[in-house]
Amino acid sequence: MTINLIGTGNVAWHLANQLAKIPTCTLQQIAGRSPEKEGDFKSFAGEIVTINALQPATITIIAVSDDVIENVSTLIPYQDTLVVHTSGSITIEAIAQNRKGVFYPLQSFSKNDTIDFTNIPMCIEATTQEDLEILQQLAMLFSTKVYHIDSHQRKQAHLAAVFVNNFTNHCYTIAQELCDTHQIPFELLHALVGKTAQKAIDHSPSEVQTGPAKRNDTKVINEHLNMLQQEDHKSIYQTLTASIIAHYGKEL
């Protein structure tokens, strides 16, 4: 199986790094518009080429920003091979080629992050059974968790991922700011960060909700609102508290 990779960002780097470890895959060429990134990718492919220099491969993976996927796909100088993108929120139809697919690793990729793909869910989609099987083969070389998810479900999963990753991480950031302001080490909260995540994995999160909002403890809620000094922190506290009260009030 030969792979062409288009893109030189975080996702492209982590995919190239993983592909280099898989003996049954050949990372044939890497294309991108950032020749200054060549150093980062040198160990995976000799040089970064322009898209029009790509030669046909079994699968061409477009790992670029959402807003240029469609345009990039039209620049690929061959037809009749499988072309996939790696985005959570872009439909499969964005690919101009006749054989199209999606290869979406559901994870947040930061720079300098060590990624173990083994447990990362790989969400795949294709328009024919044959192409789905090719993608399935590739996905199983990355991870033990492969899901067939259509474009509609993938968009929803991506939205859910925003709540699970982006929004929880911002809650951590606010907690760290509160700690910093009052000379409390943020490590005091590390065990709770880990435990909260583990409980949500081991149970249904709604079964393990606790705290003043769940108890509708107006006294503590008002005290907390008075303690918060930033208006956006107050708004987040109020909005999430109102939603928790509405959610669990319904259950009574």
Binding residue for its own copies, selected from 201, 250, 251, 252, defined by CB under 8 A: 201
Q: Are 34 and 13 a contacting pair, CB within 8 Å?
A: no
The reply to whether 251 sits near its own copies by the rule CB under 8 A is no
Binding residue for its own copies, selected from 35, 46, 194, 249, defined by CB under 8 A: 194
Among the listed ranges 26-34, 53-61, 125-133, 168-176, the one in contact with its own copies (CB under 8 A) is 168-176
The reply to whether 151 sits near its own copies by the rule CB under 8 A is no
As to burial, measured by CB atoms within 10 angstroms (0-12 exposed, 13-18 middle, 19+ buried), residue 174 is middle
User: How many CB atoms sit inside 10 A of residue 213's CB?
Assistant: 21
Binding residue for its own copies, selected from 50, 98, 181, 229, defined by CB under 8 A: 181
Among the listed ranges 19-27, 44-52, 126-134, 196-204, the one in contact with its own copies (CB under 8 A) is 196-204
By beta-carbon proximity to its own copies, the closer residue of 47 and 66 is: 66
In angstroms, the CA 93 to CA 102 distance is 10
Binding residue for its own copies, selected from 190, 216, 222, 249, defined by CB under 8 A: 190
50 DSSP 8-state letter: P
By beta-carbon proximity to its own copies, the closer residue of 127 and 209 is: 209
The reply to whether 37 sits near its own copies by the rule CB under 8 A is no
Show the binding pattern over residues 71-90: x = contacts its own copies (CB under 8 A), - = does not.
------------------x-
The reply to whether 173 sits near its own copies by the rule CB under 8 A is yes
Among the listed ranges 36-44, 54-62, 77-85, 215-223, the one in contact with its own copies (CB under 8 A) is 215-223
Q: Is the dihedral of CA 89, 34, 108, 60 positive or negative?
A: positive
Query: Measured from the CB of residue 29, what is the shortest distance to its own copies in angstroms?
Result: 28
Q: Is the dihedral of CA 53, 57, 63, 65 positive or negative?
A: positive
Instruction: Provide CB contacts within 8 A for 53, sequence distance 6+.
Output: 29, 31, 77
The reply to whether 135 sits near its own copies by the rule CB under 8 A is no
In angstroms, the CA 160 to CA 57 distance is 33
Angle CA 210–197–155, to nearest 5: 105
Of the candidates 4, 11, 203, the residue with the CA atom closest to the CA atom of residue 107: 11
The reply to whether 68 sits near its own copies by the rule CB under 8 A is no
The reply to whether 170 sits near its own copies by the rule CB under 8 A is yes
Query: Measured from the CB of residue 39, what is the shortest distance to its own copies in angstroms?
Result: 23
The reply to whether 166 sits near its own copies by the rule CB under 8 A is yes
54 DSSP 8-state letter: P
SS3 assignment, position 24 = coil
Among the listed ranges 68-76, 77-85, 126-134, 186-194, the one in contact with its own copies (CB under 8 A) is 186-194
